[in-house]
């Protein structure tokens, strides 16, 4: 599995997951590492995806022998929590983005790459035509951040590597404004594509 190869390489720093749903992918990622060498895992999620989301995540982790207390759960929305992490000077060697797939939200999630170590990996789920917000955000991100390279794309997963320090914030207020403006045309395109596929 590609995840296993990536995570079992030299990614020894903290790992961040943005959007965890029931914690299934979180559990899989944590189980790649033996407990003795498992890095710190941080989860950012508002915990409003479904009722009792936190309880379901905890049960899911415990079912595989993982103590939920070993995970740093940060309950809230990505953008304000990023501001807190930036002030705290948090660092990560791996970031997995699978939160809200709207173009503005994906762009905001990509701002967390400011805290990514050089050589670190960022992976985004649902990178497919079904989710144009993810496609557009990744394309824009790579266009303005030449120190990131796409190293793999498999199914609906795209994986990028940070090859050098960033001379500027990876995501600026202008990027977020542009993403917000793209919401309507991307929604139109998605609706049009659906109609064509049904015809």
Per-residue confidence (pLDDT) for residue 187, from 0 to 100: 66
Is 85 exposed, middle or buried (CB count within 10 Å of its CB: 0-12, 13-18, 19+)? Answer: buried
Read off the CATH number of the domain in which 136 is found: 3.40.50.150
Tokens read off for 141: 């991100």
pTM of structure? 0.91
Comparing 4-13, 85-94, 121-130, 172-181, which segment has the lowest mean pLDDT? 4-13
Burial 43-58 (b: 16+ CB within 10 A, else e): bbbebeeeeebeebbb
Structural domains of the chain, count: 1
Tokens read off for 125: 């789920």
Domain that includes residue 153, residue range: 2-198
pLDDT in tens, 123-154: 999 999 889 899 999 999 999 999 999 999 88
């Amino acid at each position: 599995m590609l995840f296993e190869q990536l995570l079992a390489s030299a990614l020894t720093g903290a790992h961040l997951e943005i959007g965890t749903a029931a914690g299934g992918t979180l559990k899989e990622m944590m189980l790649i590492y033996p407990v003795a060498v498992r890095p710190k895992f941080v989860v950012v999620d508002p915990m409003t995806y479904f009722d009792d989301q936190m309880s379901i995540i905890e049960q899911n982790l415990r079912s595989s022998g993982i103590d939920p207390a070993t995970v740093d759960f940060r309950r809230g929305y990505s953008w304000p929590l990023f501001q807190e992490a930036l002030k705290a000077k948090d660092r990560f060697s791996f970031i997995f983005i699978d939160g809200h797939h709207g173009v503005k939200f994906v762009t905001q999630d990509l701002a967390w790459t400011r805290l990514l170590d050089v050589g670190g990996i960022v992976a985004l789920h649902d990178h497919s035509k079904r989710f144009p917000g993810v496609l557009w955000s990744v394309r824009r991100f790579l266009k303005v951040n030449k120190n990131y390279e796409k190293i793999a794309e498999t199914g609906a997963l795209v994986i990028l590597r940070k090859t050098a320090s960033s001379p500027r914030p990876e995501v600026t207020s202008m990027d977020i404004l542009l993403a917000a403006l793209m919401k309507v045309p991307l929604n139109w395109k998605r609706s049009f594509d659906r109609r064509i596929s049904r015809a």
